[in-house]
Amino acid sequence: MSGDKLQPQRAKSGVGFVMGLRCLRCGREYGVDEIEYVCDCRPNQGSDMGTLDVIYDYAAIRQVIDPARLALDPDSSIGRYWPLLPIARRTSLPPLPVGGTPLLEAPRLAAELGMRRLFIKDDGRNPSASLKDRASAIAVAKAQEQGRSVVATASTGNAAAALAGQSAAAGQANVIFVPRTAPPAKIAQLLVYGSTVLAVDGSYDQAFDLCTQACLAFGWYNRNTGYNPYMTEGKRTVAFEIGEQLARWLAHQGGPGQARMAVPDALFVPVGDGCIIGGVHKGFSDLMRLGWTERMPRLYGVQSDQSAALANAWRAGLEVPEPVQATTRADSISVDAPRDAVKALRAVRESGGAYIAVSDEAILAALLPLARQGAVFAEPAGAAAYAGLVAAAAQELIGADETVVVINTGSGLKDVAAAMSMTGEPLMVRPELGAVREALAGRGL
Ligand SMILES: *Cc1c(COP(=O)(O)O)cnc(C)c1O
Ligand SMILES: [Zn+2]
């Protein structure tokens, strides 16, 4: 990951503090103007398509921001990290602030799991109610910087909803390809924000390929995950926020103050394409390169056993996963051929974590403690991260003294049907006090 080998003339063609891009497959380096999406070495081959990694000028970034200066920035959105983003200017970000989501301590859940310290990073509290806002903000910023007429994406739902919201904020035309089976709340978000929506009679993987073809044919800017190299870069802001928030929390406990950032021991991330976990890994790696932290958290990637291409590859020691036929109820992590497999497998391998596959039953069951003891209403994919922690705790992968963070990636309001399948219906009463008494009998209220 050393960016220092790039020639200085490359830096001249950079954008912001980006010096260039490097293929994770063949190692070839490109200037920012020389390539848009994936490396020529093997474009468009499912999970092994020559994904590019973005290289920054860290020495220059250190001149403009550091933890102490960040602590004084009143803007809690991802704009505070703009020198670490692949954009030319802070003002290129759409005027709908993304990030700054709370890191919530969950002592009752921690006690239940026999753990000392557990936090939930609630990214359901982004403007379009998922972590995808962090990536889509970058997509719209880049489309606007380049004056592109249309930005497009294929999505299981949330990336599209995020693109729709960020596009609405910026007045950017956009086209969205979703599988016809996406939950209605997500499709409603697209339509209400005014996107042009194409519901594909097929899987997410088919929608992905169709979107890529359309972008090439019509000259649209392509936001597709694992294809557009800049999406990871936006998603990694969640790591920067956790670093700052944990440091602040420790300072309140009488720790070393805000001069540096802090790192959890273990971090649980739900995984579909693998872009989020790749981004989280890069985010924490960047904090170390910048000298703001001293170690990496162990990253645990959580998948449904009904969509476990990466967990399977991890167990089998493969570099490129075998596609599966995903059927999980957790639609946001339902992926046949993960598009960011290289970054996703590397994240877990290099950090000393693991992939964990959990059943759909365990995922849905996790919705309830997360809400009832943690006060976070998650969509099934977000609950999967917590289900993974429950499994990891049972396998004694977590030390009793460790600090753990679970990322909730999406709001429960995205998929109300899944939540209701776990709760049952409310008690029906006639509008009379006697009926209330009757209904509550034996409930200890
Ligand atoms: C997209 C998404 C994920 C999975 O992210 P990948 O980058 O595809 O691994 C998990 N949870 C939610 C809510 C999502 O929208
Ligand atoms: Zn390559």
Q: Per-domain residue ranges for the chain?
A: 103-129+232-423
Any ligand 1 atom below 6 A from CB of 121:
no
How many angstroms separate the alpha carbon of residue 270 from the centre of ligand 1? 6
Domain spanning 103-129+232-423: CATH 3.90.400.10: no
Of 98, 101, 131, the residue with max ligand 1 atoms within 8 A of its CB, to mutate for a pocket test, comes to 131
Of 277, 409, 415, the residue with max ligand 1 atoms within 8 A of its CB, to mutate for a pocket test, comes to 409
Measuring CA to CA, which residue among 266, 278, 245 is closest to residue 399?
266
Any ligand 1 atom below 6 A from CB of 274:
yes
Q: Is 269 strand, coil or helix?
A: strand
Q: Is 303 strand, coil or helix?
A: strand
How many angstroms separate the alpha carbon of residue 394 from the centre of ligand 2? 41
Of 153, 268, 273, the residue with max ligand 1 atoms within 8 A of its CB, to mutate for a pocket test, comes to 273
- What pLDDT, on a 0 to 100 scale, did the predictor assign at position 3? 43
- Three-class SS of 383-442: HHHHHHHHHHHHCCCCCCCCEEEEEECEEHHHCHHHHHHHHCCCCCCCCCHHHHHHHHCC
- What pLDDT, on a 0 to 100 scale, did the predictor assign at position 183? 83
pTM: 0.94
- What pLDDT, on a 0 to 100 scale, did the predictor assign at position 43? 57
Local structure of residue 219 (DSSP, 8 states):
T
C-beta of residue 101 within 8 angstroms of C-beta of residue 123: yes
Per-residue pLDDT of 291-328, as tens digits, reads 999 999 999 999 999 999 999 999 999 989 999 999 99
On the CB side of 303, how many CA atoms lie within 13 Å of its CA? 30
Any ligand 1 atom below 6 A from CB of 174:
no
Name the average pLDDT for the chain. Answer: 93
Residue numbers in the chain where pLDDT is lower than 50: 1-12
Per-residue pLDDT of 134-159, as tens digits, reads 999 999 999 999 999 999 999 878 99
How many angstroms separate the alpha carbon of residue 65 from the centre of ligand 1? 29
